[in-house]
Amino acid sequence: MILESERDTLTSLPDDDRERLTAAIWDCAMMRDITDHPAVEPLKDSDLYRAKAGDYRAIMGLVKPTLAVVLVGHRKNVYDNLNTAAKRVESFRSA
């Protein structure tokens, strides 16, 4: 699941980065353990994960059985919004 606001951000990325990031997200959604994907790493001190493609990142949370993409952005500033990403994941869990 990709939040609508993040889907808009994803579609506005350069073609190559968008395709690579979308492919990484899709592959992760199909995996038993998303950290098995080479583009995915867990974020320290968090239950969030990041997928990377070029200069862009997708911040994801696992809301079993769903992988929720809660933030997409440039590597320079996407990590500035991790609190927002964590809150979005929590709102999915409590729904």
> Which domains, ranges and CATH numbers included, belong to the chain?
4-94 (3.30.2310.20)
pTM of the model: 0.86
Question: How far lies 83's CA from each of 11, 15, 32, 75, 86, in Å?
Answer: 23, 28, 26, 16, 5
Instruction: Output the CA–CA distances (angstroms, integers) from residue 21 to 26, 53, 56, 59, 77, in the order listed.
Output: 9, 5, 8, 11, 17
Amino acid identity for residue 17 in this structure: D
What pLDDT, on a 0 to 100 scale, did the predictor assign at position 46?
Answer: 87
Q: pLDDT digit string (tens) for 10-58?
A: 899 999 999 999 998 888 888 878 878 888 899 988 889 999 888 999 9
The per-residue pLDDT for 38 is: 84
**Per residue in 61-94, pLDDT tens?**
887 777 888 899 999 999 998 888 888 888 888 8
